[in-house]
Structure 1
Amino acid sequence: MLDTLLLGFNPKARPLYLEIARCIENAILKGQLAYQDKLPAHRTLASEIGSSAVTVRQAYQELESKALLSSGVGKGTFVSFNVNLSAGIKGRTQNEFNLSLVTPLNGPLLKPISAQLSALANADLSAYCDYEADAGNPEQLAILHQWLQAQGIDCEQSQVIACHDAQHALLVAVLACTQVGDRVAVESLCYPGILSVLRQTGRIPVPVALDEQGLVPNSLERLHEKQTIRALMLVASCQNPTGTVMPNQRREQLAKVVKRCAIQVIDDDIYGFLAAEEIKPFFHFAPQQSIYLTSLSKCISPSLRLGLLVVPKSSSDDYINLVRTTVWLPSPLLMQLACQLISSGAVAKITQWQKRQALARQNLAKNILRELEFVNQYQAEHSAYHLWLYLPHGWTSQAFLEVMLSHHIHLSGEQHFSVEGEQRPAVRISLMATQSLSDLKHALGLIRDVLLRRT
C-alpha cells in the first residue's frame, strides 16, 4: 500500500503535509485506494518517508476536512470517499456522456437536410461545381445577406464575406485587423479556439476582467492606457464558458470605450440567437468599430460548415483576398444547401426549436442542482447551451474531472479556458450534448451526487 500511497511523492516539497495529502488524494480519486481501506498509522508512514508523526497527522486532517478520510480513536484512519457512489451508478457506467462539447441537438434537423439534399440532387449542379468569382455566388450572398438582416445586422451585401466556418472566419478577421505583435484583448475566461488563433499568428492575448454581466468596459480602458490594445475578441451573448449575456446598457458602455480607444471589435455572435429578443448584437452599438461574426454550426448543426463575416465597406477586398489565401473559397455546394435551408424557413424553425430545448434543459439543471447548497454559484443564460458551475471548497477542477471521468462523464475545467494565472475552480457543463433528457438527467444527477459526497 505504501507504494500506492506515495506515488509521485516529492520529499522536498513544502509544506510537506500538503504534499503527503496530495499523493493520498490522487490515490483515492484514481481508485488506487478503495472505500474503507485502512491507512498506515501516523508513526508508520512518518518513518517510511523520514518525517514526523505530527506532519502525517496534519496531512490526514487535511484530507478529513475534504471528507476523503475518517478516523476514530483506537480504530485508525480509513478512506471515506467512495468513487463508485452506488450500485445503481455502477450499472450505468457503460454509457459515455461527453458534456464537454457545446453543440446543438439534431432532432428536427435530419428531415429538412434530407429534403434539401434531395432537391440538390435533382437540380442542375453545374452552377455549384466550379470556382466562383472572388466575392462568391451573388444569389447565395443575397440570401445570406437577407438572413443576417433578419438577425438585426444592418449592412450591405458587399460587406458580407463567406468563410469556411466560424473558426476560419475568426482567423480571417484577426489577420485583417491586427498585425504580428499586436495586443488583442480577450475575456479572462474564453473559448480556447480564440487563444489558438492569436498565439499561432503571433498576436498577444491580453485578459480583461469578467463579472456577472460579461466583459468589464472600465477594465478594458485601463488596460489600453497601460499598453495599446489593437483589437478586442468579444462573445457578448452566452459567453463561452461562463454563459453570461451582456445587457444592452453594458454593450452601450463598451461601445463608448472602444470608440474612445479606437479598438477594433470582433463580435463573435454565434450564440446570439439564444439571447432574449431585446438583446441587440454588439455590432448594433458600434458598427464602425465592429467586425460581425456568426455561423450556422451552433443554431443548426456542426456539419454545416459555413462562417459569415460582416466587415467594413472600405476593406471588403482585403477580407476576400484573405479567404482566397487561406482556403481559396468555401464550398459552393455546402453554401447552396445552407441557402436552401434558409429560404425554405427551416433555419428559422430549427433555431427556435433549439432555443426551446435549451430552455427546458436549463430548467432541468436548475431543479437537479438546487439540492446543492452552492446552487447560486453557477452562471447561465436561461436558454444557453451550457452552464458554468463553480466547485465548492475542497475541490480542484482536475480532481473533480478525474472523478467524473471514472463515471464516463466528460467535462471541461476552468484551466481549459484561462488566459493566464489561476482561476476559481469551475467546470463547464454542456446541456445539449445528450440527445435525450433522461440521459442528461442521469448525468446531472451523478454530478450532483459526487459533489454532495464532498460538501
Structure 2
Amino acid sequence: MTNWIPDRDSLRQPLHLSLAASISAAIEDGRLKAGQRLPTHRKLAEQLNLSVNTVSKAYDTVKRQNLIEGQIGRGSYVTDTKKPERQPYILEPEQKNMFDLSISRPAYSKLHVDRMQKLLSELPGDLNSQMFLSCRPNIGFETHRIAGTKWLSLCGLNTQPDNIILTNGVTHGMSAALSALTRPGDIVLSDSITHHLLVSACAYLGLQLVGLDIDEYGVVPDALEKACVELKPKALYLLPSLAGPNIYMMPESRRRQIADIVKKYELHLVENDACGPVAKDRPQPVSEIIPELSIYLTTFTKCTVSGLRAGYLVAPERLFPALTGRLIVFGWMATPLMCEIATRWVLDGTAEELTLWQRSNLRTRYDIARTELAEFDWHGHPSGLHLWLKLPGEWDSASFVAHARQLNIAVSPETPFMAPKSIPQNAIRISVASIRDVDRFQQALRMIAGLLKQQREPLPQLVY
C-alpha cells in the first residue's frame, strides 16, 4: 500500500471533489504510480478526519476518470495506462436474448439487403477492371471524386473534385488529417466529450488532447478562445452535427463564432460529419465557412450500411502533399471497389433513398425514447444514432453498465469518450439503431428505465 496521503489543509469544499483532484494530481506528477494500492476508504477517512462517504465519492470520481480501478476484495489501485484499453463494446455476433445498445450503427432492413444485392448482381457485366487491378491514384479515381461533389452538396459542402480525397471512412481520414497537421507534443482541442477514437489516436500519435467546456450546442466559444491564447494549439477537432456521443446539433450562429475564432488564431479545423445529410435541420458545415483552414470528413457507414467503408476527405490543395503521404502510410488508398459501390449509389439515388429511410426510422426510435425515458435526464436528436443519458442518484457509469449486463443489456460507459482530465458526466451512451427490431428496442429502454428506478446493488467482480 502507498504511503502517499494528501494534505488535509489543502482540501476545500466540496471536499470529495477536492480530494479527487489531489489524487489525480498525484497520479499525474508521479507521486502515485501505476499499480500502487490506495488506502482503504475507512483508513483514509480516519487519517484526514473525513467521512467514509466523502472518501468513497472521491474515489468514485477518480475511477470515472479511468485513473484508478477497484478490485473487489483487494482494494483500489492506480490504473496502468500503458495496458491495452478494455473494449467496452460487444464485438461478437449478436447473442440470443442480448439487447446490444452499445454499438453506434445505422438501422437496416430488407431494403438495404435488396439494394446491395441488386448492385452486386450488376457489377460483373460492366465493372471497369481498374477497380480491382489498380493501386493508384492514391487520392481516388476521378470518377469517384466527381460523384463525391454531388453527395457533398447534400451535406451542405460545395467543393470541386480536385479538393476531394477518397477514404475508407472517417477514421481513416482522421488519422491522415491529424498526422498531417501536427507533430508529437502538439496540442489538439476538442469537446470534453468527444469521439473515442480521437482519444486513442492522439495518444498513439503523441499529441496532447485538451477537452473544452461544452453546453447543449457544443464547444463554448469563450473556452475555445481562451485555449487558443493560453495553449497555442495546432488543430480543433469538431463534431457539430450529431457525430459526438452526447449528440447535439450546433446552430449556425455558433458555427460562425467557432469559424471566426479558428480564423483569428490560424488554427486548422478537422470536422467530423459522419452522419452526413441524415438530419433535415442541419446547418452548413463549419468547413463551408472557412474551407481554406478546414479538413472535412464524412462517410457512408453511418447513413447507408455500416459495411460500406467509404468516405470523403475535403481539404485545400496546399495540404494534399502532406495528406497524401499520410494516407499512403495508413492504408495506401481507399478501396476502389467500395468507392465504386458508393459512387453508383450516389449517382442512381440509392444513397439518398437509404438516407431518407434512415431519417424516418430514427425518428420513430427517438419518439419511443421520449416515452420510455420521460422521467430521466437524457439528450438526443430525432436523426441521431444514439442518446446520452445522465444517471440519477447513486448510479455511476461503470456500475450501471455492469448491472445492465445482468439483464443482457449492453450500453456504453462514458469513459472512452472523455478527453483527458475532463470532468466525468456520470452518463452512458445508448445506441438507438443497433437493435434491428423496434419492439425489442422499446423493450430494452423499458428495462433500462426500470433499472434506473432501483437502488444500486453491490455486484461481485464478474468475468464476461
TM class, shorter-length? 0.7 to 0.9
The question of whether the paired residues in 2 share the 8 Å contact of 1:10 and 1:19 is answered with no
Match of 1:58 in 2: none
User: Contact 2:379–2:387 (CA<8 Å) still a contact in 1?
Assistant: yes
Tell me how far apart the structure 1 counterparts of residues 41 and 339 of structure 2 sit (CA, whole Å). 61
Residue equivalent to 2:108: 106
> How many angstroms apart in 1 are the aligned matches of 2:330 and 2:107?
30
Inter-partner Cα distance in structure 2 for 1:158 and 1:20: 59
Give the fraction of aligned pairs with identical amino acids, expressed as a percent. Answer: 26
Give how far 1:424 is off. Answer: 2.3
Over the aligned positions, Cα root-mean-square deviation in angstroms equals: 2.3
User: Residue 158 of structure 1 contacts residue 316 of structure 1 at CA under 8 Å; is this kept in 2?
Assistant: no
Pair 1:271 & 2:275 matched: yes
Distance 1:272 1:140, change over 3 A: closer
* Amino acid paired to 1:356: S
User: CA 1:143–1:219 in structure 2 vs 1: closer, same or farther (change >3 Å)?
Assistant: same
SS at match of 2:106: coil
Moved more, 311-320 or 332-341: 311-320
Alpha-carbon distance between aligned partners in 2 of 1:278 and 1:405, rounded to the nearest angstrom: 35
Q: 1:345 to 1:9 in 2, by over 3 A?
A: same
1:121 to 1:96, Cα distance in 2 relative to 1, 3 A: same
- State the distance in 2 between where 1:304 and 1:204 align: 32
Q: CA deviation at 1:278?
A: 5.1
Label 1:299 to 1:448 Cα distance change in 2 as closer, same or farther (>3 A): same
**1:416 is aligned to 2:420:** no
Residue matched to 1:242 = 246
**Tell me, what secondary structure is at the counterpart of 1:454?**
coil
What is the CA–CA distance in structure 1 between the aligned matches of 2:224 and 2:167, rounded to whole Å? 29
After superposition, give the CA deviation of every residue in 1:388-447 in whole Å (9 maximum; x if it has no partner): 111112111111111101011111122221113441211111110100111101100000
Change (3 A) 1:20 1:406: farther
- Check whether the contact 2:414–2:425 (CA below 8 A) recurs between aligned residues: yes
Shift of 1:9: 10
Superposition deviation, residue 125 in structure 1: 4.2
**Residues 142 and 417 (structure 1), Cα distance of their counterparts in 2 relative to 1, 3 Å cut:** same
Q: Which amino acid aligns with 1:280?
A: Q
Once the two structures are superposed, residues 92-125 of structure 1 have per-residue CA deviations (whole angstroms, 9 ceiling, x without a partner) of x951111111100121211111111111122244
Q: Deviations over 1:195-252 (max 9, x none)?
A: 1111111111011111011111110110111110110000001142111111111101
**Residue 106 of structure 1 aligns to which amino acid in structure 2?**
Y
Pair 1:11–1:392, CA change in 2 (3 A): closer
Report what 1:396 is aligned to: 396
SS in 2 for 1:274: coil
- Give the distance between the partners of 1:142 and 1:329, measured in 2 at CA: 17
2:205 matches 1:201: yes
> Are positions 1:118 and 2:121 aligned together?
yes
Assess if the C-alpha contact under 8 Å between 2:155 and 2:284 holds in 1.
no
Alignment partners' CA distance in 2, 1:413 and 1:197: 19
Deviation digits for residues 253-291 of structure 1 (CA, Å, limit 9, x no counterpart): 111111111111001011242333352111122222211
- 1:243–1:381 CA contact under 8 A, matched in 2: yes
> SS of the counterpart of 2:249?
coil
State TM-score, norm by structure 2. 0.77
Distance 1:134 1:453, change over 3 A: closer
Which residues in structure 2 correspond to 1:377-388 (within 5 Å)? 377-388=377-388
Distance 1:117 1:94 in 2: 30
Structure 2 unpaired stretches of 5+: 1-37, 61-94, 457-464
Q: Say if 1:270 and 1:294, in contact at 8 Å, map to a contact too.
A: yes
Asked if the contact 2:186–2:208 (Cα under 8 Å) also holds between the matched residues in 1, the reply is: yes
Q: 1:19-78, CA deviations, whole angstroms, 9 ceiling, x for partnerless residues?
A: 8997xxx9xxxxxxxxxxxxxxxxxxxxxxxxxxxxxxxxxxxxxxxxxxxxxxxxxxxx
Aligned to 1:158: 162
Give the structure 2 partner of residue 72 of structure 1: none
Q: Residues 192 and 212 of structure 2 are in contact (CA less than 8 Å); yes or no, is this contact kept in structure 1?
A: yes
Once residues 239 and 151 of structure 1 are traced to their aligned partners in structure 2, the CA distance between those partners, rounded to angstroms, is: 13
Does the 8 Å contact 1:238/1:274 carry over to 2?
no
- Contact in 1 for aligned 2:175/2:330 (Cα 8 Å): no
Distance (Å, rounded) in 2 between the aligned partners of 1:11 and 1:150: 56
Tell me if structure 2 keeps the 8 A contact 1:241–1:387.
yes
- CA–CA distance in structure 2, aligned partners of residues 213 and 250 of structure 1: 8
Measured in 2, the distance between the counterparts of 1:173 and 1:398 equals 32
Cα separation, partners in 2 of 1:399 and 1:121, compared to 1, 3 Å: same
Question: 1:137 Cα shift?
Answer: 1.6
| 1:14-163 correspondence to structure 2 within 5 Å | 14-15=44-45, 18=52, 95-107=97-109, 108-131=111-134, 132-163=136-167
Partner of 2:317: 313
Aligned residues: 376
Aligned to 2:69: none
Specify the SS of the correspondent of 1:158. helix
How far 1:11 moved relative to its partner?
A: 7.1
* Alignment CA distance shift 1:21-1:286 (3 Å): closer
- Contact map agreement 2:243 2:274 (CA 8 A) in 1: no
Superposition deviation, residue 359 in structure 1: 0.9
Name the aligned partner's letter for residue 307 of structure 2. S
Contact (CA 8 Å) 1:113, 1:341: kept in 2 or not?
no
Contact kept? 1:9, 1:20, Cα under 8 Å: no
Deviation at 1:151, TM superposition (A): 2.2
Equivalent in 317, 320, 330 of residue 326 of structure 1: 330
Residue 344 of structure 1 pairs with residue 345 of structure 2? no
Inter-CA distance 140–94: structure 2 relative to 1 (3 Å threshold)? closer
Tell me the equivalent position of 1:172: 176
- Which of the two has higher C-alpha Rg? 1
Residue type matched to 1:387 in 2? Answer: L
- Mapped pair 1:295 → 2:299: yes
Name the CA shift for 1:10/1:297 in 2 (closer, same or farther; >3 Å).
Answer: same
> What is the SS of the residue equivalent to 1:14?
helix
User: AA paired with 2:278?
Assistant: L
Q: TM-score, normalised by structure 1?
A: 0.78
With over 3 angstroms needed to count, the CA separation of the structure-2 counterparts of 1:239 and 1:134, relative to structure 1, is closer
CA distance in 2, matches of 1:235, 1:344: 29
Letter in 1 for 2:443: H
Q: 1:289 to 1:449 in 2, by over 3 A?
A: same
In the TM superposition, residue 14 of structure 1 has moved relative to its aligned partner by 2.9
Does residue 1:435 correspond to 2:439, yes or no? Answer: no
Q: What is the SS of the residue equivalent to 1:179?
A: coil
Is 1:217–2:206 an aligned residue pair? Answer: no
